[in-house]
Structure 1
Amino acid sequence: MNDLPAQAGRKPVYALPSGSCDAHCHVFGPGAVFPYAPNRRYTPDDAPKEALAALHARLGIERAVIVQASCHGTDNSAMLDAIAWRPDRYRGVAIVDGSFGDGAFRDLDDGGVRGVRFNFVRHLGGAPDMAVFDRVIDRIKGTGWHVVLHLDGTDIVPLAGMIRRLAVPFVIDHMGRIDTALGTEQPAFQTLLELARQENCWVKVSGSERISRFPFDAAVPFARALVEVSPERTLWGSDFPHPNLEGEVDEADLVDLVPRFAIDAASQKRLLVDNPARLYGFAA
């Protein structure tokens, strides 16, 4: 868990381009207003919308995609409240289940949600009910929404067939949580690169702090390869406030990785501004 106050820490050396988007961040609580799910696998420290805004003010970020985290379960209220606070600048990704009907999806869409997220990660409970997964995928076909897949690196190859067949746009979180110690030629990463070449696949070059140690050098060749293979369908995010992560992270260090991922100004603007604007419908 990140113990740094969001407004603390240094400013990045790298100056983000105007309109930059944090395409993967969270709000937690406050628990007294937005209670955590009773069956949650972890209980985070509160990180409300004001903390997220303070972080973005320090980093120079103007837009954000708030991803519902599993500790709030299918109660998307904290995320929706944050979007309503800054509706022109925030979008959301929800967690849903089989109980969500047309009205619930309509309310989420009206609230700025543009996708649904499913966790396959073992420490968060493992694979979802695939019958529910399939029903949700069928429901969002043709709506302009996408599905976000949170995977363990070891599951990329076994799940690749299912992922390839998805009939909606899909986004893979955190570079697939690849084991960087196994190198870029490992089957899991080569499979991820193959998926990234699909026209409906997007990948977040986020989570460097999850797949490498400070100063996160080990993440660089993986992120750069993804940006090079899919320059128009890669996204960057801070993952604030870094749930289930031991030790502190200064998000300025993550921002300063960007020019090592995308090596020229045009590719940096695509990664940070153009790509998220296109996927999430931010104004030009």
Structure 2
Amino acid sequence: MDADWLVFHPNPSTPRFAPPPGAVDAHCHVFGPGDVFPYAPERKYTPCDAGKDQLFALRDHLGFARSVIVQATCHGTDNRALVDALRAAGDRARGVATVGEAITEAELADLHAAGVRGVRFNFLKRLADFTPHDVLRRIADKVTAFGWHVVVYFEAPDLAELQPLFTALPTPVVVDHMGRPDVGLGVGHPQFQAFIRWMAEDQTVWSKVSCPERLSLAGPPYDDVVPFQRTLVERFPDRVLWGADWPHPNLKGQMADDGVLVDQIPKFAPTPALQRKLLVDNPMRLYWG
């Protein structure tokens, strides 16, 4: 792994908050192991191994019933580690793959049978090369037949440029980590307000209220991120998801304690009804419906 890579927390705390029965961690990853599922030659980082058995053990430790495993950029369009984890989990996991324009209908059908329900595109240049807009549209057209959605990862200043592309897609769009707002600017800043307006205007847009450990300026327990999360959960209760983002790829500074992340949930989803929508109803409708 890279010399500056932060290894995931070896002994995450046991959360005080008990997720509702059937809760879904809707954003997590598997890395390798590299000797079985080699990392992509074109990758921009080399992580530590973090395989399916460790992920499933964490799922159980945190009190979740199911997982949505998202293909990591270090594996490129080779989805074998993802598919292996999905098959091992059975109906307890669904997946989001990364695919190229050349993928065939038969290959998409195989991914669907394994549990894949979406494709992801990363717009952070430090992590991946941008997919050209016309290629993204053609891939979206292909996956529409399977009822999949498109997951996008971008930073708040880039929304204005990217929104026309996302709005024109024929699929639902799921935004990773609230579009990475600058927490220091506050909820009222035009950048975050533009994101709220987009979700209000387009009923096909969803948001993950995840990754406070990436966004916080204050550090754990990441209370400075709560106003952003709570705004989206209360404004769009039927189109929000939550995920731990284990094993926290490319995190800098301090590795997150997954138990602390779970204990943050009631701060921004303060009622049992909101917690159930966030953790059970919404992910089940999107990934298992």
Please indicate the TM-score interval, normalised by the length of the shorter structure.
Answer: over 0.9
Find the aligned partners of 1:159 and 1:97 in 2 and give their Cα distance. 20
Amino acid at match of 1:248: M
> Among residues 8, 24, 48, which one is paired with 1:21 in the alignment?
24
Find the aligned partners of 2:176 and 2:214 in 1 and give their Cα distance. 11
Q: Offset of 1:126 from its aligned partner?
A: 4.7
Report whether the alignment pairs 1:64 with 2:67. Answer: yes
RMSD: 1.3
**Structure 1 residues 4, 146: closer, same or farther in 2, change over 3 A?**
closer
Taking only the aligned residue pairs, the percentage that are identical comes to 48
> Among residues 242, 247, 251, which one is paired with 1:245 in the alignment?
251
TM-score, with structure 2 as normaliser: 0.94
Instruction: Pick which of 137-146 and 269-278 moved more.
Output: 137-146
Superposition map of 1:1-284 within 5 A: 1-5=5-9, 8-197=11-200, 198-212=202-216, 213-246=219-252, 247-281=254-288
Amino acid at match of 1:216: Y
Find the aligned partners of 1:4 and 1:72 in 2 and give their Cα distance. 18
**Structure 1 residues 2, 61: closer, same or farther in 2, change over 3 A?**
farther
Find the aligned partners of 2:26 and 2:179 in 1 and give their Cα distance. 15
Q: Offset of 1:128 from its aligned partner?
A: 1.4
Query: Runs ≥4 in structure 1, deviation > 4 angstroms?
Result: none
Find the aligned partners of 1:2 and 1:264 in 2 and give their Cα distance. 34
**Is the CA contact 1:24–1:65 (under 8 Å) kept in the aligned structure 2?**
yes
Find the aligned partners of 1:88 and 1:50 in 2 and give their Cα distance. 16
Q: Secondary structure at the match of 2:213?
A: helix
Amino acid at match of 2:261: L
Tell me the alpha carbon deviations over residues 91-117 of structure 1, each in whole angstroms, 9 at most, x when there is no partner. Answer: 000000112011111111111000000
Instruction: Pick which of 41-50 and 150-159 moved more.
Output: 150-159
Instruction: Give unpaired runs (5+ residues) of structure 2.
Output: none
Q: Offset of 1:5 from its aligned partner?
A: 4.8
**Is the CA contact 1:2–1:241 (under 8 Å) kept in the aligned structure 2?**
no
Tell me the alpha carbon deviations over residues 11-61 of structure 1, each in whole angstroms, 9 at most, x when there is no partner. Answer: 001111111100000000000000000000000000000110111121111
Tell me the alpha carbon deviations over residues 208-229 of structure 1, each in whole angstroms, 9 at most, x when there is no partner. Answer: 1110022211110000011112
Q: Secondary structure at the match of 2:91?
A: coil
**Is the CA contact 2:6–2:250 (under 8 Å) kept in the aligned structure 1?**
no
Tell me the alpha carbon deviations over residues 193-240 of structure 1, each in whole angstroms, 9 at most, x when there is no partner. Answer: 122222211100011111002221111000001111210010000000
Q: Offset of 1:138 from its aligned partner?
A: 1.2
Tell me the alpha carbon deviations over residues 250-270 of structure 1, each in whole angstroms, 9 at most, x when there is no partner. Answer: 111110111111110011011
Q: Secondary structure at the match of 1:159?
A: helix
Q: Secondary structure at the match of 1:22?
A: strand
**Is the CA contact 2:9–2:256 (under 8 Å) kept in the aligned structure 1?**
no
**Is the CA contact 2:8–2:247 (under 8 Å) kept in the aligned structure 1?**
no
TM-score, with structure 1 as normaliser: 0.96
**Is the CA contact 2:95–2:116 (under 8 Å) kept in the aligned structure 1?**
yes
- For these two proteins, the number of residue pairs brought into alignment is 281
Q: Secondary structure at the match of 1:65?
A: strand
Amino acid at match of 2:237: P
Instruction: Give unpaired runs (5+ residues) of structure 1.
Output: none
